[in-house]
Amino acid sequence: MTRHFLRDDDISPSEQAEILKLALELKANPYAQKPFAGPKTVAVIFDKTSTRTRVSFAVGISDLGGVPLIMDAQGSQMGAKESVADTARVLERQVAQIIWRTYAQAGLQEMAANSKVPVINALSDEFHPCQLLADLLTIQEHKGKLAGLKLVYIGDGNNMANSYLLAGAMAGMHVVVVTPEQYLPSDEVVARADAIAFETGGSVSVSKNPAEAVVGADVLATDTWVSMGKESEKAQRVKDFAGFTIDSTLLALASPDAIVLHCLPAYRGYEISAEVLDGSQAVIWDEAENRLHAQKALMVWLDQRAK
Ligand code: CP
Ligand code: NVA
């Protein structure tokens, strides 16, 4: 049966581990799998801007023997002129998979409900599950394991926070999300992540105190305070997030061998200091590269189930 990957918990913890293992194999042997040989075409649609996602999917699809068809909302009929459901009905007849970066999660659900080919969330307002596969791969490479590690995310309770909660809990990690009072992650996601953590031996919690939360952290993570679509709130957000910057003072409170993640793009001096982002504990370029390997594994894995 066709599977879709719209949020981090659309796969089980053991399936997550399977995809990460495949990602490592493909990283060591990039051209070993050719599911899109033919070549088949894979649609990659952007309603928001992107560098990493655009490049890593384009390169990944061609590594897997396929042809990437990069589309954007402005250049297609989708949106105001044609429904998501009708777009899905057209695409599923011609492409092997549909990868979409958009705003509302509901749009992705509508696309998947009308597509017999796998649909992948390449970032929505609610989740960024492909980024989390890359982040987990990066943590595993640097720490040799995932389960039992303490991961502290500091910043906006946004798509990245939601994905850290779900995917981290699935990996058996102890995830702490630290946000100002008015930027908490979704209650539904926290409850779901808590239920998952109960099964995997991990834990999730929410805090408003960065200095307290980072003690003993193995992994620190952050993201922009101003996500795509929130640009008009920038001035207010910069005020509200004062004290939530990952800088060397905060980093010094974590485990001495803690690593620092950032999905990028980063705004030095806001959510993270230049010293930390460009320092020896940051693993951000590995993380950016791992988008490629993790997404290739995901596409292979979904292709195997789409028959
Ligand atoms: N991290 C990430 O998704 O980057 P892009 O917005 O450049 O794709
Ligand atoms: N939270 C950010 C992530 C960018 C990759 C955004 O949605 O803009």
Q: What is the pLDDT of residues 102-118, one digit of tens each?
A: 999 999 999 999 999 99
Whole-angstrom distance, CA of residue 224 vs CA of residue 266: 6
pLDDT at 307 over 80: no
CA 70 to chain centre: 19
* Alpha helices in the chain, H assignment, sequence order: 13-28, 52-63, 84-91, 105-113, 129-143, 159-170, 187-200, 210-213, 234-240, 248-251, 274-277, 284-305
- Position 202 scores a pLDDT of 98
The single residue listed with the structure tokens 């946004």 is 158
Q: Which of 101, 174, 237, 293 is catalytic?
A: 101
Q: Whose CA is nearest to atom 1 of ligand 1?
A: 263
Mean pLDDT, range 272-301, rounded to an integer? 98
Mean pLDDT, range 241-269, rounded to an integer? 98
Whole-angstrom distance, CA of residue 151 vs CA of residue 216: 9
Answer yes or no: 130 catalytic.
Answer: no
Answer yes or no: 140 catalytic.
Answer: no
What length does the chain have?
A: 307
pLDDT in tens, 31-77: 999 999 999 999 999 999 999 999 999 999 999 999 999 999 788 89
- Position 26 scores a pLDDT of 98
Average pLDDT of the chain is 97
Mean pLDDT, range 270-289, rounded to an integer? 98
Mean pLDDT, range 12-29, rounded to an integer? 98
Q: Which of 7, 9, 263, 303 is catalytic?
A: 263
The atom of ligand 1 lying closest to the CA of 263 is 1
What domains can you pick out in the chain, each with its CATH number?
A: 8-127+290-305 (3.40.50.1370), 131-287 (3.40.50.1370)
Answer yes or no: 131 catalytic.
Answer: yes
Whole-angstrom distance, CA of residue 264 vs CA of residue 228: 12
Residue 121 Cβ contacting ligand 2 at under 6 Å: no
Which of 13, 41, 223, 1 is CA-nearest to residue 128? 223
Residue-wise DSSP of 112-147:
HHT-SS-EEES--SS--HHHHHHHHHHHHHHHS--T
> Residue 29: pLDDT band by 50, 70, 90 thresholds?
very high
Answer yes or no: 263 catalytic.
Answer: yes
